[in-house]
Amino acid sequence: MELVDVWFVLIAVLWTGYLCLEGFDFGVGMLLPAVARDEHDRQVALGTIGPVWDGNEVWLLVAGGATFAAFPEWYASLFSGFYLAFLLLLVALILRGIALEYRAKEPRWAPVLDRILTGSSLAAALLVGVALSNIVRGVPLDADHEFTGTLLTLLNPYALLGGVTLVLVFALHGAVFLALKTDGPVRERSAAVAASAGLLAVPAGGVFLVWTLLDGAPLWALAPVAVAALGLVLATVLVARGREGWSFTATTVAIVAVAVTLFGSLYPDVLPSTIDPAFSLNVVNAASTPYTLTIMTWVAGIFTPIVLGYQAWTFWVFRRRLTRADHGAPAELAGGAS
């Protein structure tokens, strides 16, 4: 395997990690009004992602940095063509961070910040789905690899369906995560929301993945598509039976399978051209020099295990369930199993 192929796989892995980890963060933010009835419930729900959400966002930053270093032509065409969409995504992520960090510091603004958190989480998930869908489907690139469309070009039916599908999958992923990480009323409501989200995510995901297959995906992509569909169905069934751990595993496997389908369908291109396939960017004409890729491979080989170990340790430290009693609720209001 050439280094360009290695780095394409590594970037796909970084995006997959981002979708799996930041996915439940977005889901928690989107579902906050549905699972929390008062301030104690909101503190319980947000406490599940408080120690990890900013670390989960690092996966997106590293994916962008790796794209810049390994495939500068891909980075240039992508970030210039998707400029307005990425600007909106950046604004959503900034507002989400402000809402998470400042609601405890300014209690008077907590209701407003909670609405901002919900809206920005939904918007960010939608924009990520639209961006990934356009990368896989292709965009109008000319012979100089320059984007010739507009923002409306990116809002095509396939991309919009991909965005809506990702929102629903993240809602299911986040609801299952909340049911896994909490106890009492928040856990009960999260399980109920997960069942409803699953009923919407399964058909939406099925249509999107079938469309991807019919749009020229390789035959082998049938396998991860089947795994993704089965994962979403099992997650919905398992969370209803109180098996939150297995349900969360199922949603994670489904997201990984979706990422494998999308990036596997994309390869060897990194940004197809809908004007002429000859204008497409691929792992060869978009890549950095072999010397650059060699240095990056050594750096990634040294530091990636360290980062993964630290993040795994963080999740282990904050592994227990949270209840209302953890956030100062009276004992008689804590609810749920002890």
Q: What is the pLDDT of residues 180-225, one digit of tens each?
A: 999 889 999 999 999 999 999 999 999 999 999 888 888 898 999 9
Q: How far apart are the first and last CA of the chain?
A: 53
- Tell me, yes or no, whether 328 lies in a domain: no
- Tell me, yes or no, whether 265 lies in a domain: yes
Mean pLDDT across 291-299: 93
Instruction: Using pLDDT thresholds of 50, 70 and 90, give the confidence band for residue 337.
Output: very low
What pLDDT was estimated at residue 184? Answer: 87
- Tell me, yes or no, whether 83 lies in a domain: yes
- Tell me, yes or no, whether 335 lies in a domain: no
The answer to which of 93-97, 274-278, 303-307 has the lowest mean pLDDT is: 303-307
- Domain span including residue 137: 3-323
Instruction: Using pLDDT thresholds of 50, 70 and 90, give the confidence band for residue 335.
Output: very low
- Tell me, yes or no, whether 175 lies in a domain: yes
How many domains does the chain fold into? Answer: 1
- Tell me, yes or no, whether 333 lies in a domain: no
Task: Count CB-CB contacts under 10 A for residue 267.
Answer: 14
Q: CA–CA separation, 130 vs 124, rounded Å? A: 10
CA angle 41, 32, 322 (to 5 degrees): 40
- Tell me, yes or no, whether 228 lies in a domain: yes
Instruction: Using pLDDT thresholds of 50, 70 and 90, give the confidence band for residue 329.
Output: low
- Tell me, yes or no, whether 84 lies in a domain: yes
User: Judging by beta carbons within 10 Å of its beta carbon (0-12, 13-18, 19+), is residue 285 exposed, middle or buried?
Assistant: middle
